[in-house]
Structure 1
Amino acid sequence: MAFWNSVLFGKVPRLFKVVAILACVACFPCDARFKGFRRFRNQFSAEPNENRHTVEDQWFIQRLDHFNGADTRVWKQRYFVNDSFYKPGGPVFLMIGGEGPANPAWMQYGTWLTYAEKLGALCLLLEHRFYGKSHPTEDLSTDNLHYLSSRQALADLAHFRTVIAEERGLTDRKWVAFGGSYPGSLATWFRLKYPHLVHASIATSAPVYATVNFPEYLEVVWRSLASESPECPQLVREATDTLLLRLHDPSSLDNITKDFRLCSKLSSQSFMDIAYFLESLAGNFMDVVQYNEDNREFEGVVGTNITIKVLCGVMLDSSVGDPYERYAAVARLMLQTFSQPCLDAQYTHYLQDMRNISWDGPASGGGRQWVYQTCTEFGFYQSTDSPNQPFSGFPLRYHLQQCADLYNLSDPERSVAEAVKQTNEEYGGYDIRATRIVFPNGSVDPWHALGVTSDISRDLPAVFIKGTAHCANMYPARAQDLPQLSLARDHIFLLLQKWLNE
C-alpha cells in the first residue's frame, strides 16, 4: 500500500514514482523511482534527517522463518518506545511499520499520541522486516526476499507482542494496533489472525483487497482532479495522448528531452522505455493527489505546498501554451520543487538500480522490497487500462513485465494472479470476519477504492472522510483541518474508548 522518504538515491531520481504502497518521496516520503512504492508508502517511513529526533533505536531478537520450526535463525528488528504518557494499567498502542524505514518522528507527533495521552497508553512502533535498519538477511537477493511477506510480518508482530508483554509485565493489558496504508492492512489482518493478542485495530487507508490490475486508482485521480475543475483531468488526458503520439515520432525526441528536462535524450522507443517515462510523469499527479493537503510537514517532507489546486492551476493556464506544454511545465515545477536539475527517465537505469541486491544499493530503502511484494502478494498495479482516467501508455503488461525483469518470474501474468488469489484466500479480501476494527478512508485518496468505505457491521465500522487524502486522520491536527476531519478523529477516539472498556 508504503512505499516517499525523500530518499533521493544516487544522481537524480528516475522520477517521482515508487511503489503502490509506499510509496512516497521527494514530495512524499520515498524515492519516486520505484514504481508504486511512493503511491503505497509506509506512512511512517523515515526522512534522511531522522537524526533530528532523539528517540532511541531499540532491538528485538526476531525469528527469520516463523513457519519452519526447524529453522532457528534469528535477526535484530528495530523498534521505538514512547512511555511518556503511560499510566499503570493503561493500554498498549502498537504502530505497525511498513514499506520503508520506520520514522521516529511518529513517536513525537500524530493523532495516535493524542489518544495515548488521554488514555495513558504505552506507545511502540515496530519496523517491518526488510525495511529501514531491520535486515533479516545478508542482502536483498530474490532467494532471501522469500522471507519477505505480510504473513511473516504478522508473525513478527505476534512474537514481538508476546515477548515484550512478558518482559514488561503487559500480558494483561489491552493492545491496540495502528497502521496506515499497507500497515493499515496489516493492522486489519493482525486483529483477524491473532485476536487473542490484539484487542482492537485502527486500520487507516487500508487496501484490504488484493488485485492484479488496479485501474480504479487512476479513476479516483480523475475524480479528485475534477473536483478542482472538470477541465483539469481532461486537459491532462489531452496532453498525455499528444505526448504518446510524439514519442513514436523520432523527430520529436529532441524536443521532448528539452521540454521535460530529461538527463539524457530518449534513445529508445521500446514499449518499456516509453511506458516507464509516461508513468514517471503521471506520478507527479498521482502522488500529489494521494497526499493532497495532508499535514506532513513534521516528517521533514518537501513539496507539501504542491497540491491539486496548484497542478490544476498550471493545467488551466492558457498563457503557458497548449495542454502538452502545460504538462511539461508541471514536470519542470516538480523538478524545481525537489531541487533536481533533470529527470532520469531511462528504464534501463531503473532496472540497474532495482537489481542491486546490496543493503547499500540505490533501491534498498524499499523499492526493491516493495515491488517484490507486489509481484508475490498484492499486485496493486495502477494501470491505464480504464478509459475513465487521465493518462496514457502504461497498461498492466508494463507492470507485469517488471516482475519478470527484476525477479526472473517466467510467467508473471499467471504467477502474480495466483499470488493475489492466495492473498485474498488468506485474509478474506472484503469479507472480513472480525470485531473491533475501524476503517478510516479519505474520498480524495485513490487507495480508498480497495478499502472499506461503508460499515461491514457494528463492530467493523467505516469512517469515510469527504475531501481528505491518504491517512489524513493520522496526521497532527491543525487549525485549517476540514470540520469532517476533526469529527472523524473524535469519532475514532470514541470507538477506541468504547472498545477498551469491553
Structure 2
Amino acid sequence: MRVFLLTFGFVCIFSVCQAWTPKFHNGRPRGGFVPPPPRSKSMLGKPLSADMWFNQTLNHFNDADTRTFQQRYFMSDKYYKPGGPVFLSIGGEGPANAVWMENGAWVEYAKEHHAMMFLVEHRYYGKTQPTVDMSVENLQFLSSEQALADLAHFIVFAQEKYKLPDNKWIAIGGSYSGALAGWFRMKYPHLVTGAIATSAPVFAKLNFLEYLSVVRNSLSVSSSSCVTNIQQAVTQLENMLNTTDGRQTLKKMFKLCDDINITNTDDVANLYAVLAGNFEDVVQYNKDNRAFEGAAGTNITIDTLCGIMDKNTSSSALQRYADVNSLMLLTSKEKCQDFTYQKMVDGLRKVDWKSDAAAGGRQWTYQTCTEFGYYQTSDFKSQPFGHKFPLDFFVKQCQDIYDPKFNADLIGRGINRTNTNYGGYGIKVTNVVFPNGSIDPWHALGVVKSLSPDATAIFIDGTAHCANMYPPSSTDPAPLVQARATITKLIGKWVA
C-alpha cells in the first residue's frame, strides 16, 4: 500500500494545470490496498451485483448534527439458509467492487457456512460521497471511528430490512479494512460475533522503518544478489544526477515526463521514492492470485524483477533498474514516468469528486496525516533504495496538501490517539483471527503471534499482502491452503 504524500500546488488560472497521482502511494495502489480478484469463469458475461443504498449518519458523535448521506453496499443471499451467519465485508480506502460478491475466499466460506453476504463501501471512497467535495473542512468526517459507527448503523439497518434479528455476524477485512474488522469486534462486540482481520496494520506509526526492511528481506529470498544490484544502481543514479549530461541520460533511460531539476530536493526525493515504489508494489502483492493491473495476464513477481536486476549481460545495474521501471510503465499503460513533486501535489489537492484524487489518494493521504502515519521512509539504513525520502519529506506533504500546521508533533498526536483508542499491538479482543504473510511489509505493524486462545495469529510463510483473501489456486503453497482451512474452521466455531 504505498502513497506518496504531496503538497498543495498553485492554482492554475490561465492554463490547464498538469497533475498526477502516483501508481503506488504510501503502500496504496491507485485502486486501494485490496485490489479485486478476476471474475470467476462461471460468472463471465453475467451482470455484477447491483448497487444498493441506505441512509447513513454523517456525524455519529454529534446528535445535534442531523445530516445524512447515501452509503453504497452490495448483498448476496445466494448461499444463505435461514438462521445462517451473516458475513460483513468491510470496504477500505478505495471503491467497493462487486466482483468480491462472486469470487474470493470469503465466497467459499459463505458456501460452507450458508452465510448471507454484505459488502459495505467505506465513507468518502468510491461512490459513497458524504459531502459536496473533499475540502479539508469536509474531510473532518473521514475517520476510522466514524467508519466503525457506520458499520454498526448498517447492521441495525440490515437486521430489520433483511429480517436477521438473531443471526451471528462475522466482520471481514483486509489491510486497513482488516484493522477495521478487528477494531469493530473490539468496539461493538454485541453486534459482531467474530472477525477476520487480514494483513491488518493495527499499530499506527509515524516512521514505518520496517517497511523497507521487509522489502529488502523479501527480495533477498528471491536472489542473494538482487539487493546488491539495486544498491549499485542507486549509487550510479546518484552519481549521474550530479551532471547535466547525466540528468539528460537519466531522463531517457527512465522515460521521465520532465527534466530533472537538481536544485529541487522535493523532486529528487520523489524520483527516488517512485523508483523504489516499483519494487514495493510487487513485493507487497507477490503471487496473491489477483489480476495484476494492466499486465495483460502477466503475473509480475519478485522473481520477475530480481531476474531483470540479475541479468548476466553487459548492461549496467542502472540500466537494469531502468528496465524494471519500463516494465512497470508498460503494465500501467503509461508513456512516461511522472515524478515532479508539485505536479503530484497539484493532483492530490483537488477536492472535486470527479478528479483523479477522488479515486482515494487524497482521502487516504488525509487519514495517514490525521490517524495513522505509516510513512514508508528511506530512513532504514540497510535498505538499497537510497536515503533521499526521509520522514521530513512525508511530513512536508501533509503540510502542503492540507495545512501547514501538520508538523510531526501534530501527526504524532493523532497516531498516539489511534493506538490509545484501539490498543495497538495489545488490542484486547476475542474471536478474531489475524492472518499475515511473511513477505508482506505490512506484517511488521500487525499481530503475528497469537494474543490469546481466542485471538489467533496465522503467520503464512511465503505469502504477501492479503493473499488469503483471494480465490484459491492449485499453485497455492501449503501454508496458504492451511491458513484458509484454519479460518473457515474458526468461523464454524464462532457461529456454532
| CA 1:122–1:298: 2 relative to 1, 3 Å | farther
Structure 1 residue 293 corresponds to structure 2 residue 287:
yes
Question: Aligned-pair distance for 1:319?
Answer: 1.1
Structure 1 residue 489 corresponds to structure 2 residue 484:
yes
Query: In structure 1, the residue corresponding to 2:185 is in which secondary structure?
Result: helix
Is the 8 Å Cα contact of residues 63 and 73 (structure 1) preserved in structure 2? yes
Q: Tell me the equivalent position of 2:24.
A: 17
Q: Tell me the equivalent position of 1:110.
A: 104
Could you tell me how far apart the structure 1 residues matched to 2:26 and 2:108 are? Answer: 30
Structure 1 residue 137 corresponds to structure 2 residue 131:
yes
Could you tell me how far apart the structure 2 residues matched to 1:2 and 1:118 are? Answer: 35
| CA 1:361–1:275: 2 relative to 1, 3 Å | same
Could you tell me how far apart the structure 2 residues matched to 1:98 and 1:45 are? Answer: 15
Could you tell me how far apart the structure 2 residues matched to 1:43 and 1:191 are? Answer: 24
Query: In structure 2, the residue corresponding to 1:148 is in which secondary structure?
Result: coil
The answer to which of 480-489 and 299-308 deviates more is 299-308
Query: In structure 2, the residue corresponding to 1:135 is in which secondary structure?
Result: coil
Is the 8 Å Cα contact of residues 409 and 415 (structure 1) preserved in structure 2? no
Question: Aligned-pair distance for 1:298?
Answer: 9.3
Query: In structure 2, the residue corresponding to 1:363 is in which secondary structure?
Result: helix
Could you list the runs of 5+ residues in structure 1 that have no partner in the other structure? 4-9, 31-37
Q: Tell me the equivalent position of 2:10.
A: none
Question: Aligned-pair distance for 1:231?
Answer: 1.1
Structure 1 residue 119 corresponds to structure 2 residue 113:
yes
Q: Tell me the equivalent position of 1:322.
A: 316
Q: Tell me the equivalent position of 2:166.
A: 172
Query: In structure 2, the residue corresponding to 1:364 is in which secondary structure?
Result: helix
Question: Aligned-pair distance for 1:245?
Answer: 3.5
User: What letter matches 1:166 in structure 2?
Assistant: E
Q: Tell me the equivalent position of 1:249.
A: 243
Question: Aligned-pair distance for 1:51?
Answer: 11
Alignment of 1:32-431 (within 5 A): 41-44=33-36, 53-297=47-291, 305-319=299-313, 321-392=315-386, 393-431=388-426
Is the 8 Å Cα contact of residues 91 and 120 (structure 2) preserved in structure 1? yes
Q: Tell me the equivalent position of 1:7.
A: none
User: What letter matches 2:476 in structure 1?
Assistant: D
| CA 1:301–1:425: 2 relative to 1, 3 Å | farther
Question: Aligned-pair distance for 1:141?
Answer: 0.3
Query: In structure 2, the residue corresponding to 1:310 is in which secondary structure?
Result: helix
Q: Tell me the equivalent position of 1:464.
A: 459
Q: Tell me the equivalent position of 2:6.
A: none
Is the 8 Å Cα contact of residues 97 and 126 (structure 1) preserved in structure 2? yes
| CA 1:101–1:95: 2 relative to 1, 3 Å | same
Is the 8 Å Cα contact of residues 295 and 331 (structure 2) preserved in structure 1? no
Query: In structure 1, the residue corresponding to 2:450 is in which secondary structure?
Result: coil
User: What letter matches 2:230 in structure 1?
Assistant: V
Could you tell me how far apart the structure 2 residues matched to 1:411 and 1:172 are? Answer: 45
User: What letter matches 1:185 in structure 2?
Assistant: A
Could you tell me how far apart the structure 2 residues matched to 1:353 and 1:293 are? Answer: 31
Could you tell me how far apart the structure 2 residues matched to 1:204 and 1:330 are? Answer: 29
| CA 1:81–1:460: 2 relative to 1, 3 Å | same
Is the 8 Å Cα contact of residues 21 and 356 (structure 2) preserved in structure 1? no
| CA 1:341–1:291: 2 relative to 1, 3 Å | same
Question: Aligned-pair distance for 1:396?
Answer: 0.8
User: Among 466, 473, 476, which residue is 1:478 paired with?
Assistant: 473
Could you tell me how far apart the structure 2 residues matched to 1:96 and 1:498 are? Answer: 21
Question: Aligned-pair distance for 1:300?
Answer: 7.7
| CA 1:328–1:101: 2 relative to 1, 3 Å | same
| CA 1:51–1:63: 2 relative to 1, 3 Å | farther
The answer to which of 262-271 and 339-348 deviates more is 262-271
Is the 8 Å Cα contact of residues 131 and 365 (structure 1) preserved in structure 2? yes
Is the 8 Å Cα contact of residues 291 and 299 (structure 2) preserved in structure 1? no
Is the 8 Å Cα contact of residues 105 and 298 (structure 1) preserved in structure 2? no
Could you tell me how far apart the structure 1 residues matched to 2:105 and 2:294 are? Answer: 17
| CA 1:206–1:270: 2 relative to 1, 3 Å | same
Deviations 1:335-366 (A, max 9, x none): 12222211121111111111111001121100
User: What letter matches 2:310 in structure 1?
Assistant: L
Question: Aligned-pair distance for 1:135?
Answer: 0.3
Deviations 1:190-244 (A, max 9, x none): 0000000010000000000000000100000001000011111121122123313
Scaled by the length of structure 2, the TM-score of the pair is 0.92
Question: Aligned-pair distance for 1:301?
Answer: 7.0
Query: In structure 1, the residue corresponding to 2:75 is in which secondary structure?
Result: strand
Question: Aligned-pair distance for 1:322?
Answer: 1.7
Question: Aligned-pair distance for 1:454?
Answer: 0.9
Structure 1 residue 441 corresponds to structure 2 residue 448:
no
Q: Tell me the equivalent position of 2:9.
A: none
Query: In structure 2, the residue corresponding to 1:439 is in which secondary structure?
Result: strand
| CA 1:197–1:2: 2 relative to 1, 3 Å | farther
Is the 8 Å Cα contact of residues 199 and 437 (structure 2) preserved in structure 1? yes
Question: Aligned-pair distance for 1:42?
Answer: 3.8
The answer to which of 478-487 and 231-240 deviates more is 231-240
Deviations 1:74-99 (A, max 9, x none): 00000000110010000000000000
Could you list the runs of 5+ residues in structure 2 that have no partner in the other structure? 4-16
Could you tell me how far apart the structure 2 residues matched to 1:351 and 1:59 are? Answer: 33
Question: Aligned-pair distance for 1:162?
Answer: 1.1
Is the 8 Å Cα contact of residues 154 and 186 (structure 1) preserved in structure 2? yes
Could you tell me how far apart the structure 1 residues matched to 2:341 and 2:244 are? Answer: 18
Could you tell me how far apart the structure 1 residues matched to 2:2 and 2:334 are? Answer: 23
The answer to which of 347-356 and 10-19 deviates more is 10-19
Scaled by the length of structure 1, the TM-score of the pair is 0.91
Is the 8 Å Cα contact of residues 129 and 148 (structure 1) preserved in structure 2? yes
Question: Aligned-pair distance for 1:45?
Answer: 9.7
Is the 8 Å Cα contact of residues 2 and 45 (structure 1) preserved in structure 2? no
Could you tell me how far apart the structure 2 residues matched to 1:157 and 1:308 are? Answer: 37
